[in-house]
Structure 1
Amino acid sequence: MKFRYARHTNNLGTLIDFYQNIIGLEKLGGFKDHNGYDGVFLGFPDQGLAYGVYLFR
């Protein structure tokens, strides 16, 4: 089973802080200015990107 959740936000830093410091996810990757978007992939390192949260603005 896989679970991926993608969310657009204007408060990227706040959500990254929440998912890392409250939920306990780790940053697995990200991108800057890809077609005008910035984003980050958060999840559990031992699960790769099978379970994760993708945040972008």
Structure 2
Amino acid sequence: MYDLREDPEELNNIYLSLEHRELRDELTRKLWTLQASLGDSPHESQPTPKGLDLIG
């Protein structure tokens, strides 16, 4: 995950940054919701994101 305004060359991955945790969690929930709406499911090794109870 990269901040393209601040880092257009994608040199600093901010995925694990505590400052961007809310955004990362929101995007993860959106991805899971999209996958579910398409009939797809994440790999069983992927934990269900907090605040999401779609896939069981």
Report the structure, 1 or 2, having the larger helix content. Answer: 2
Same fold (TM over 0.5): no
TM-score scaled to structure 1, two decimals? 0.30
Q: Which has the higher contact order (CA 8 A, sep 6+)?
A: 1
Q: Which has the larger radius of gyration?
A: 2
Report the structure, 1 or 2, having the larger strand content. Answer: 1
